[in-house]
């Protein structure tokens, strides 16, 4: 794993070899950004969390999903960013300890699901 620390006082972490563009925003939070629709990002996030664990709370009006995956507490948030892209944030803790490995794995699966959705949509247009 590579670690990049910015000199402006804010830390930014990049995990090479897994999710393209996955960035750690804090000790327990990772993010991916994609140029996809909000609905696609929401559905992909919901599907992956449902497949991998147990949904605890779904608040679409607040863009938040709480789940339990492999004994870790997950909070996912789908955000519309000002540049027109969508961000998916995954907060992940197991017994109070950050679990960035699982957050990265979940984001990788969400990213893959979004890629499959885009490929399927492109094939439907042909």
Cα gap 122→1, rounded to integer Å: 34
* pLDDT value at 40 more than 50: yes
Name the DSSP class of 17.
T
114 pLDDT above the threshold of 80: yes
8, pLDDT greater than 90 = no
DSSP state at residue 20 = T
Per-residue pLDDT, 87: 96
Q: What is the tens place of the pLDDT at every residue in 55-110?
A: 999 999 999 999 999 999 999 999 999 888 999 999 999 999 999 999 999 999 99
| Window from 7-21, 22-36, 75-89, 97-111 with minimum mean pLDDT | 7-21
Q: 3-state secondary structure string, 33-74? A: EECCCHHHHHHHHHHHHHHHCEEEEEEHHHCEEEEEECCEEE
Closest CA to 31 of 42, 20, 40, 39: 20
Q: What is residue 26's predicted lDDT score, i.e. its pLDDT?
A: 82
| Domains parsed from the chain with CATH numbers | 3-125 (3.30.530.50)
Percent above pLDDT 90 for the chain: 67
> End-to-end distance of the chain based on CA atoms, in angstroms?
40
Report whether pLDDT(115) > 80. yes
């Amino acid at each position: 794993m590579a670690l990049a620390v910015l000199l402006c006082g804010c830390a930014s972490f990049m995990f090479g070899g897994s999710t393209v563009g996955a960035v750690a925003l804090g000790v327990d939070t990772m993010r991916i950004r994609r140029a996809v629709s909000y609905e696609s990002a929401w559905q992909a996030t919901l599907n992956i969390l449902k497949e991998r664990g147990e949904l605890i709370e779904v608040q679409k009006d607040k863009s938040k999903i709480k789940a339990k995956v492999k004994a870790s507490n997950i909070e996912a948030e789908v955000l519309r960013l000002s540049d027109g892209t969508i961000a998916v944030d995954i907060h992940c803790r197991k017994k109070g300890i950050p679990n960035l490995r699982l957050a990265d794995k979940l984001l990788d699966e969400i990213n893959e699901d979004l890629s499959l959705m885009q490929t399927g949509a492109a094939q439907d247009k042909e």
